[in-house]
Amino acid sequence: PRGSIIALGPALSSAFAGKRGALGADEINPPKAADVFPLVRVAVSSQRRADAEVVENALEKIRRLDAAATISREGGQTILGCVGELHLDQVLRDLRRAVGVEVVVGEPIVGIREGVVSEKTGEAVVPPPWSRELEEDDEDEDVVVEVEAMDERVEEGRFARRGNLLKIVEGDEQACVEGFNRACDAGPLAEEPLHGVRVTIIKASGEDQEALASKVRRRIRQAILRRGARVWEPLVEGDVLCSQNALGKLHGLLSKRRGTIREEDVISNELWCLRAQLPAASALGFGEALLEWTSGGASVPQLIPAGFQLLDEDPFWAPTTEDEREEHGDFGGDVFASSNVARALVNAVRRRKGLASDERVLRAKAEAQKSNQRIRA
C-alpha cells in the first residue's frame, strides 16, 4: 500500500544508486477524506470558552491541510479522528502550536456497531433502561417488522444502508425507507449504527408519512431487542517482525488484549513475520506495550482496519446460578463487568454520550450489599 517502507535487494539497489524517483505501478494521488478510516478519535475543546472559536478555526485549517485527519460534531463535541496514535500526537502538536492556548483532549473514543443474534434461542431478557422502549409499544398492528442477521448467502433486498438490507412486502415505500435509514444510523443499544441486519417490513400503513417513518424506526429497534441484540467491535491488524526468543511474550501480550495471530511466516532461523489482529479498543498503546514486553525483540506494526467481529455474548446476560456467580462474579461487580466485554463496550459508549445506563445503579447496589454484609458480621 502507498506510504509503506520497502527494502531493495543488492541487484535493485545498485540499479537505483544515485537516482531519485517514485516507486509504484500507478499514479500516486494524495488520500481523500472519504477514504480515511480514523482508528483513533478524541474529543477536542478549548479550556476557556472564549478560545473556542480559535480552536475551531485551527481544526478547520488542519482538516484542509491534512486529508488523513477528520473533524466531526457529535453530541455537542468536536471529534478529531486520526489514522493512528503517532498521527494523533502530530496533529495535537500542530494544533497547540497554531492556537497558542490550552487545548483539552478527551479519552480515546472507539465506536461499535450493533446487530442481532444469528439464531434466536428464546425470549430475550431486556433490562432497564432498554425495556422502557418496549413498554412504549402500542396495541395496533399498523406496522409489522421482522429482523434477522445477514449471512454469507447472496442477500436479497432493494434498499441497503451501512451494511444492512431492507425488504418491503407491503407499505409506503418512502416512509419505510426513511424509518429504516433512521434505525440504521442509531441502534437501540447505544445509538450506534447497525451492521449486518436484514429488515423485512411485512406491513406498514398510515396516512402521515412522518409519523409512519417514526413508527417503522421504533418497530425495528423493538424487534432487535426482542430477538436479541449483539455488539460488533472494530478490528485492526498489522505485521509484526519478532525474534524467536520474544515469540512467547508476543503471544502473551496478544492474549491479554484479546488478539490473535492470523498468519505466520518464518523469515530466518531467528526472525518471524506474524500477522496480528486485535480489537481496536485494545490496540491503543499496543506499540509501546509491545516494545516493553519483548524488550525490543519485536517491531511496532502499522495497524490498519480489518473489519468488524461479532461478539457472541449477550450484553444483557446476568449470572443466576451459584456456579455462574462463582465463575463470572455477582451481577454489577468488577469481575462480571470485565468478563462481559459486550456490556462493557455498550456502557462505555452510553456513558460517553450521556445516555441512561444501569451501570451506576448496579454499582451502588453492590456497594450497599457489601456494607450490609459487614454490618451483619
For 111-142, the pLDDT digits (tens) are 889 999 988 776 677 777 777 777 766 566 78
Rounded to whole angstroms, the Cα distance separating 347 from 357 reads 7
pLDDT in tens, 330-355: 655 554 555 788 888 898 888 888 88
Report the C-alpha dihedral over residues 19, 25, 28, 31, rounded to 10 degrees: -130
Examine the pLDDT at 376 and tell me if it is beyond 50.
Answer: no
For a pLDDT cut of 90, what percent of the chain falls above it? Answer: 21
Residue 332: left (phi > 0), alpha (psi -120 to 50), or beta? Answer: left
DSSP designation for 193: P
| pLDDT in the model for residue 30 | 46
CA distance to 86, 140, 147, per residue, from 335 (Å): 33, 43, 33
CB atoms within 10 A of CB 179: 29
Place of cell 422502557: 132
* b/e per residue 286-318 (b: at least 16 CB within 10 A): bbeebeebbeebbbbbbbeebebebbeebbbbb
pLDDT in tens, 137-158: 656 678 899 999 987 665 666 7
- Residue 72's pLDDT band, with cuts at 50, 70 and 90, is confident
| pLDDT in the model for residue 178 | 94
What are the start-end ranges of the H helices in 145-285?
Answer: 173-185, 209-227, 247-256, 280-283
Q: Which amino acid belongs to residue 226?
A: R
Q: Which three cell numbers stand for residue 1?
A: 500500500
